Amino acid sequence: MLVLVAPGQGAQTPGFLTPWLDLPGVEDRLRALSMAIDLDLVHYGTNADADEIRDTAIAQPLLVAAGLVSAAALGDVTPGAVAGHSVGEITAAVFAGVLDDTAALGLVRRRGLAMADAAAITETGMSALLGGDPDVSVAHLEKLGLTPANINGAGQIVAAGTLEQLAALNEDKPEGVRKVVPLKVAGAFHTRHMAPAVESLAKAAAELNPADPTVRYVSNKDGQAVSAGAEILDRLVGQVANPVRWDLCMETFKELGVTAIVEVSPGGTLVGLAKRALPGVKTLALKTPDDLDAARELIAEHGVA
């Protein structure tokens, strides 16, 4: 069974969309989406520097747009399940037929702006912990006043909080943790620091008419497959201020009988986690159009007809 997944914030790198513009129709689609949300996705995906695309209000729409155009380049794909990490959940909602492109980009534009405003209230950030025992690490983070904002499985937890708290973590790592890696994000996402963004996103979501998913949609909240479009939209709103449980999503993939995972552009992060947590499952990350042929072969072997 094939699972199609979409990465979250921090996966973007300068110029990562450049090779995708060589595909027929991609630039036109990106420019149309840019017009719809008043944000030049082509510029930010090709010419902008790392600091520019680190901005939450830019990074989030850019990631969703990249996921949509790279998935479309695969052709007609019917996976057994879809999921996204953090903002990638909105990309996955399009894959599942819950939202259309325009609705998804409008929602993620509002999400990015609201989360950027929330992040501006207090200087906050996120760092990945590599290695260690999850229970030990979570207890240590809580002692430091940090939140385990992403529990990603495969030995990775992402801590979030104030810059002072993260500095303390760097000096006082949990037992067994090999390394603490600062992430290229502009705030403590999926924590209480994002509570101001929830109300704004709820207002944006109230303007939408979600459809029920046409394929299994696996939620970050608890790793469960959600069958109602309205509930998926509610979860997208609440998830802004709640931890991402990617570990539970991967457990669900395993229970469903996953045999292959394809991660849309800018792929790599989620495939890396799957390689460690789901041994034996074939994986492929769409980094550039050069990966499309291999992805199509994998889909033909493991996808749903």
Residues 135-170: tens digit of each pLDDT: 999 999 999 999 999 999 877 899 999 999 999 999
Provide the mean pLDDT of the chain. 95
Q: What is the distance, to the nearest Å, from the Cα of residue 22 to the centroid of all Cα atoms in its chain?
A: 25
Does residue 305 have a pLDDT over 70?
no
Percent of the chain at pLDDT exceeding 90 = 93
- Of 154, 182, 210, which residue constitutes the final position of a domain? 182
Residue 85 annotated in active site: no
- Nearest 5°: CA angle at 235, between 237 and 41? 55
The confidence score (pLDDT) of residue 183 equals 86
The CATH number assigned to the domain holding 130 equals 3.30.70.250
One domain, residues 199 and 283:
yes
The confidence score (pLDDT) of residue 208 equals 97
One domain, residues 211 and 102:
yes
How many angstroms separate the most distant Cα atoms in the chain? 53
One domain, residues 71 and 126:
no
Residue 70 annotated in active site: no
What is the pLDDT averaged over residues 222-231? Answer: 98
One domain, residues 230 and 113:
yes
What is the pLDDT averaged over residues 100-121? Answer: 95
Set 34, 85, 140, 190: catalytic member: 190
What is the pLDDT averaged over residues 39-52? Answer: 97
One domain, residues 129 and 177:
yes
Does residue 304 have a pLDDT over 80?
no
| Count of structural domains within the chain | 2
One domain, residues 111 and 145:
no
Does residue 194 have a pLDDT over 60?
yes
pLDDT in tens, 68-82: 999 999 999 999 999
One domain, residues 277 and 196:
yes
- Nearest 5°: CA angle at 206, between 147 and 106? 80
Q: What are 162's strand-pairing partners?
A: 124
One domain, residues 29 and 160:
no
Of residues 54 and 304, which shows the higher confidence score?
54
The confidence score (pLDDT) of residue 171 equals 93
The CATH number assigned to the domain holding 104 equals 3.40.366.10
Which pair of structure tokens corresponds to residue 168? 């303390």
One domain, residues 223 and 99:
yes
Which pair of structure tokens corresponds to residue 186? 């502009």
- Of 182, 200, 217, which residue constitutes the final position of a domain? 182
One domain, residues 43 and 141:
no
Set 34, 86, 127, 137: catalytic member: 86
SS3 of the chain: the string is CEEEEECCCCCCCCCCCHHHHHCCCHHHHHHHHHHHHCCCHHHHHHCCCHHHHHCHHHHHHHHHHHHHHHHHHCCCCCCCEEEECCCHHHHHHHHCCCCCHHHHHHHHHHHHHHHHHHHHHCCEEEEEEEECCHHHHHHHHHHCCCEEEEEEECCEEEEEEEHHHHHHHHHCCCCCEEEEEECCCCCCCCCHHHHHHHHHHHHHHCCCCCCCCCCEEECCCCCCEECCHHHHHHHHHHHHHCCECHHHHHHHHHHHCCCEEEECCCCCHHHHHHHHHCCCCEEEECCCHHHHHHHHHHHHHHCCC
- Of 182, 207, 225, which residue constitutes the final position of a domain? 182
The domain in which residue 106 lies consists of: 2-120+191-302
One domain, residues 265 and 203:
yes
Percent of the chain at pLDDT exceeding 70 = 99
Which pair of structure tokens corresponds to residue 20? 């995708």
| pTM higher than the cut 0.75 | yes
Q: What are 159's strand-pairing partners?
A: 127, 148
One domain, residues 116 and 217:
yes
